[in-house]
Amino acid sequence: MKQKETILQVENLCVDFKTREGSVRVLDNIDFYLAEGESIGVVGESGCGKSMTAFSIMGLVPTPSGRISNGSIFFKSTDLLKISEEEMQNIRGNRISMIFQEPMTSLNPVFNVGNQIAESVQRHQQVSRSEAKRKALEMLMAVNIPAPERRMRQYPHELSGGMRQRIMIAMALSCQPSILIADEPTTALDVTVQAQIFDLLRAIQKDMDTAVILITHDMGVIAEFAERVIVMYAGRKVEEGKINEIITNPFHPYTRGLLKCVPHLKIDPGDKREMLAEIPGVVPDLSKLAKGCHFASRCGYAISRCFNDSPVEERVNENHSVACWRSGDIQ
């Protein structure tokens, strides 16, 4: 049940890219919503469109090669696709902000971190420079950085990977956004640092009641952090549901494969080494997609219908939907 108000509603979102081989559809009719203070996960392999979904929401689809060709993205009651760039700039980094995968390449190497955090505060809130600096310092304390006064004056290259990601989080949260998009925020980090970062995100999310979209390829990370999950494959949403349902009762063969192909840590691994379940083949080239279900060529359950018609999204129950012709038969 949706108790909280929907803060973000994405409808029929399509993104096309122009390439030498013609137009390529990288997002195909993506639909989802995000409630206030909720955390959802978007999972899939590289090239499935999860980052492009984030870029579309942020208004950062690279132009002129990329184009949002259809759909709408409602943030509260504003359609983000209809407003001017100037209006978007007031929302981006202020009401909706984003953390990127590689903190080193998304921080400016020639400014100290204090200035970089203060910059976004000053841009969005009518405050003086010194007030913005004070706010930046407060944010550094909020993300548990030791000796924040000293860190304010340091440059990105002087910090460790975990520390840089904390700076990114401090920057993204400095204007208390309603939505935070985290695009693979811990992929470049060690597991113990990853655990620290997620502890921090969880605490901050609770404090500020921020809604979070977590983009990752790691089902384990999603399981520990998100309430709902969206599984994407080749630009389409294939399954969506409450995290516990998806993990215990996945309907789509791709979701099943994704869960089974990763060696999960067990308390007792047993004496015999078993082979992992493989998803055969590779992700299809988006410029050469055949009609029908994009996963059909790698799917063990595919029937002729799968190769001809695109599956439509069906509700399994209130909290769970899947786009697969065979979902009813393979349970």
**Given the rule CB under 8 A, which residues bind other proteins?**
45-46, 146, 160, 162-163, 190-196, 198-199, 217-221, 223-225, 244, 247-248, 257-259, 261-271, 273, 275-280, 282-283
Q: How far is the CB of 47 from other proteins (least distance, A)?
A: 9
The CA distance from 135 to 290, in Å, is: 52
157-160 long-range contacts (CB < 8 A, ≥24 apart) are: 157/104, 157/109, 159/113
Q: How far is the CB of 11 from other proteins (least distance, A)?
A: 29
Q: How far is the CB of 312 from other proteins (least distance, A)?
A: 24
The nearer residue to other proteins, 22 or 270, going by C-beta atoms, is 270
The nearer residue to other proteins, 181 or 279, going by C-beta atoms, is 279
Q: How far is the CB of 255 from other proteins (least distance, A)?
A: 11
Q: How far is the CB of 160 from other proteins (least distance, A)?
A: 5
The nearer residue to other proteins, 80 or 258, going by C-beta atoms, is 258
The nearer residue to other proteins, 62 or 269, going by C-beta atoms, is 269
Which positions ≥6 away from 271 have C-beta within 8 Å? none
The nearer residue to other proteins, 126 or 273, going by C-beta atoms, is 273
Q: How far is the CB of 229 from other proteins (least distance, A)?
A: 11
The nearer residue to other proteins, 99 or 222, going by C-beta atoms, is 222
Sequential DSSP letters for 204-269: HHHHHT-EEEEEES-HHHHHHH-SEEEEEETTEEEEEEEHHHHHHS--SHHHHHHHHSS----S--
Sequential DSSP letters for 100-159: -S-HHHHS-TTS-HHHHHHHHHHHHS---HHHHHHHHHHHHHHTT-SSHHHHHT--GGGS
Q: How far is the CB of 64 from other proteins (least distance, A)?
A: 26
Contact (CB, 8 A) for 101 and 161: no
CA–chain centroid gap for 219, Å, is: 12
The nearer residue to other proteins, 128 or 273, going by C-beta atoms, is 273
The CA distance from 146 to 139, in Å, is: 12
